[in-house]
């Protein structure tokens, strides 16, 4: 597996994973806009020349906000999300980010456990944060990136 920066040419594959993962997926235009913002960093995981996952954050030192984390259904539970996030956190640290936050559905136990294993802690709840279906989000923070 290779983890590298996301390129515009990756977006067709990224959008397939986005659509299979999220009930309210980002459009290709949303990803293009994010890639053009120098405050964003997006990574992809590549296996056998195919994109199998991606993640990204927005950051202005000292804080970063993780937007997206997704792994293709056929590649889940293999440590790909963890490896991508470890690299994303490393990249954030190199840009002067010292803490990161994210939201996760309260029912997404695998993601919550992944974030906890990476040092994120629950700090609050955003009521009705998600649509399709309507659901609360857990706010998680990693307060010391080293």
Is 42 a known active-site residue?
A: no
Fold of the 2-142 domain: Aminopeptidase (3.40.630)
Backbone angles phi, psi at 24, to 5 degrees: -130, 70
Angle at 132 between CA 127 and CA 133, to 5 degrees: 55
Helix (H, G, I), strand (E, B) or coil at 18: helix
9, 12, 70, 137 from 35: Cα distances, Å:
11, 14, 16, 25
pLDDT digits (tens, 9 = 90+) for 45-94: 999 999 999 999 999 999 999 999 999 999 999 999 999 999 999 999 99
* From 42, 54, 115, 130, active-site residue: 115
pLDDT value of position 3? 98
Helix (H, G, I), strand (E, B) or coil at 137: strand
- Within a 10 A sphere around the Cβ of 49, how many other Cβ atoms? 6
Bridge partners (DSSP) listed for residue 59: 64
Domain boundaries, the chain: 2-142
Is 75 a known active-site residue?
A: no
* From 67, 103, 113, 143, active-site residue: 103
Q: In angstroms, how far is CA 74 from the centroid of its own chain?
A: 18
pLDDT digits (tens, 9 = 90+) for 15-46: 999 999 999 999 999 999 999 999 999 999 99
pTM of this structure = 0.94
């Amino acid at each position: 597996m290779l983890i590298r920066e996301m390129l515009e040419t990756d977006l067709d594959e990224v959008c397939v994973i986005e659509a299979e993962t999220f009930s309210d997926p980002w459009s290709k235009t949303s990803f293009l806009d994010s890639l053009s913002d120098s405050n964003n960093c997006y990574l992809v995981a590549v296996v056998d020349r195919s994109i199998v996952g991606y993640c990204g954050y927005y950051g202005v030192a000292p804080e970063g906000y993780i937007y997206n984390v997704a792994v293709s259904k056929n590649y889940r539970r293999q440590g790909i999300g963890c490896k991508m996030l470890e690299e994303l956190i490393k990249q954030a640290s190199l840009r002067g980010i010292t803490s990161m936050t994210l939201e996760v559905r309260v029912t997404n136990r695998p993601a919550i456990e992944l974030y906890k294993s990476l040092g994120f802690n629950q700090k609050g709840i955003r009521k009705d944060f998600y649509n399709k279906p309507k659901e609360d989000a857990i706010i998680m923070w990693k307060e010391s990136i080293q």
